[in-house]
Amino acid sequence: MTAHATENDQVIPPMPERTPKALRRAIAQHTPKLLPDFDKHWKRAIGDAYDARPVHAFTARWWIEYAIARDPKLDAHLYDLEHRGAEATDSAEARALLEEASKIRHRALRTEPGE
C-alpha cells in the first residue's frame, strides 16, 4: 500500500486492511481528530460483546468516515454539500445536494484496501 497524490500534489494515505484494528491504526496516524469518536463508538457498540455481528456495521461506518477524512478536499466538499442541503429552502435543491453527498459516501464504502 502506498499513498497517492491528487492533482494538486496532496498526498492521500491508502486505505488499510478492512479490519477494525487496521482501521484504528490508520485513523490514529492520518486522521487523529476521528480517534476519540472511533474509540467511544467502539466501546459503546462493541465493548465486551460476545456477538461479532455488530463489528461489520461498525467497520463499514468507520471505513466511510476514514475514506473521506483522509482527503481533506473531499471531506470539505462533503461537509459543504451536507450543510447546504440542510440549509436549502427549496426541496429539490436540498434533495440534489444530499443525493450527491450520499453518492460520495457510497463510493467511499466501495473503496478497497490499498486504494
% residues pLDDT > 70 (the chain): 93
Number of domains in the chain: 1
Check pLDDT > 80 for residue 3.
no
Residue of 37 and 49 predicted with greater confidence: 37
C-alpha 38/C-alpha 46 separation (Å) is: 11
pLDDT of residue 1: 46
C-alpha 57/C-alpha 44 separation (Å) is: 13
Q: Which domain holds residue 22?
A: 17-109
Residue of 110 and 56 predicted with greater confidence: 110
pLDDT of residue 53: 81
- Per the domain annotation, does 3 fall within a domain? no
Average pLDDT, the chain: 92
- Per the domain annotation, does 86 fall within a domain? yes
pTM: 0.86
- Per the domain annotation, does 8 fall within a domain? no
- Per the domain annotation, does 42 fall within a domain? yes
C-alpha 93/C-alpha 75 separation (Å) is: 20
- Per the domain annotation, does 51 fall within a domain? yes
Q: What pLDDT, in 10s, does the model give residues 64-98?
A: 999 999 999 999 999 999 999 999 999 999 999 99
